[in-house]
Chains A and B, each alone.
Chain A
């Protein structure tokens, strides 16, 4: 049957550097930092790596996402934790502006809790609040969706 090429149904993936500005919010696709997923004895990880856990993004009781390089190799560490590279797996969108609170209210039901892993615009997202800027770490395959969602949510008539 004659059918649309499915790729035409979906907005394309934004490039790093893409900017969206509406409703008092600036959204930017930025270069995702290197990052590692660490699970297990997080205190041991902190000791061995020297990484301050409060700078990492806690995802679960025994799991955290560490931004930036570490010297530790991927795999199991005898001190009791495992590490995997996720540096190319996540995309990063940064949001800022006076309209940020309103946007977040539209995107998620999550309140501030210990886990940075929430559902945002219907997909799993890891939040990183740095001062006035909110970083959204998302699986790279869902970046196009999130970007389209942000555009629609921000272009709604403002209250």
Chain B
């Protein structure tokens, strides 16, 4: 059985018809009891399981996924990874994630194709340049490399952008984070799943959590479509399903669930080498390694679990993309889709124990969960292993909505997440 991935093993298996590859993960029967049960087999849940096993040495971990692993937002996002946030607390979280991403392929022995091609946020007026300077300084003070580029520098790096004098939004400059970039989203999910499975984590797919087992006011397990499963601690990392899951557990979360749409163009040869966002047009683009332009924009403004695209938002985003990149007028749209994202009042995630003791939450990521997978998993693993916060996760506790210690990134940084 070939378990290890390397050029050598690819060569070897090439010689014998690919017959020796081991399974990426098992399909185990769920046991009746685990130390930790994680609800949600997306990037956050799988990463959590991995770190629980790897860093904390926890045995008997299960990840319960109602569909197929990595099939929710992890498989639907636009794959941008960055840590250009405003508040120090956010920066700690997202930059931890970026640093973990930088070695993740090697750590998991899975090529996640992290491409640190930078993230560029276009600045379109003198007033915006002032805000941009504030943002860049904040990042630099937080220990995160960031640059404020002038127009000439932007033009040098992104020649295909619209620099015409009558462009709707002139380019004054840009905020640039060189270490930011993209990764292959499926590979992140599969990489974590395989590594977690190798450490003994049971990944139970096609198993839906239908309720919670509560004894003495404490969550001691879950009811699933494949029977009852008990655990010392239960963690939920279910992204856009958090509201529904919380209801099963008897509490409400300060979240609103919206559809976030994305789309891809047909693939073309490489022509665009960074990730670019323009807050004024409300659109952002990158070119995947396969050659497709991966395009996203703002949320649908009507709450929904629809997970599907619609025309008005598509028209807004694509007109924004073409205003920025006239060359893309040669391109055609290949596919559009949507996912459900939970937005909190301060656009920052939620970590910590839920109102139901024994049940812990990782959620409220809004539109920014993919970039945070390694950090989210690390922090949630710490919480589930110890029952208490990691210093980096503490500011994101649910309690902050009571005390008012919000980390309002949307207001602070002005970036659409």
Contacts and interface: CB of A to CB of B under 8 A. Distances in A.
Q: Do any CB atoms of chain A lie under 8 A from CB atoms of chain B in the complex?
A: yes
Interface of A: 1, 3-4, 8-9
Interface in B163-200: 165-166, 168, 170, 172
- For the complex of A and B, 6 pairs with smallest distance between CB atoms: A4-B165, A9-B166, A3-B170, A1-B151, A4-B166, A1-B172
Interface in B89-132: none
A1 B170 CA distance: 11
A36 B200 CA distance: 74
A47 B85 CA distance: 59
A1 B126 CA distance: 10
Nearest to B171: A1
A135 to B, nearest CB: 26
Nearest to B312: A109
A108 to B, nearest CB: 13
Interface of B: 151, 165-166, 168, 170, 172
Nearest to A10: B166
Contacts of B165: 3-4, 9
Nearest to A4: B165
A9 B172 CA distance: 17
Contacts of A4: 165-166, 170
A15 B168 CA distance: 24
Nearest to A1: B151
A78 B293 CA distance: 61
- Main secondary structure, interface of A, reads loop
Contacts of A8: 166
6 contacts: A1-B172, A3-B165, A4-B165, A4-B170, A8-B166, A9-B165
Contacts of A1: 151, 172
B374 to A, nearest CB: 40
From A1, A3, A4, A9, residue with most partner B Cβ within 10 Å: A1
Given A3-B165, A9-B165, A9-B168, 8 more contacts: A1-B151, A1-B172, A3-B170, A4-B165, A4-B166, A4-B170, A8-B166, A9-B166
Contacts of B170: 3-4
Nearest to A9: B166
A106 to B, nearest CB: 13
A8 B170 CA distance: 13
Nearest to A2: B165
A8 B172 CA distance: 18
Nearest to B129: A1
A8 B167 CA distance: 11
A4 B165 CA distance: 6
Nearest to B168: A9
B316 to A, nearest CB: 10
A135 B48 CA distance: 61
A8 B166 CA distance: 8
Contacts of A3: 165, 170
B380 to A, nearest CB: 44
A1 B168 CA distance: 16
A95 B304 CA distance: 39
A66 B166 CA distance: 39
B310 to A, nearest CB: 12
A113 to B, nearest CB: 18
B129 to A, nearest CB: 10
Nearest to B152: A1
Contacts of A9: 165-166, 168
A6 to B, nearest CB: 9
Contacts of B172: 1
Contacts of B168: 9
Nearest to A3: B170
A28 B205 CA distance: 64
A8 B165 CA distance: 10
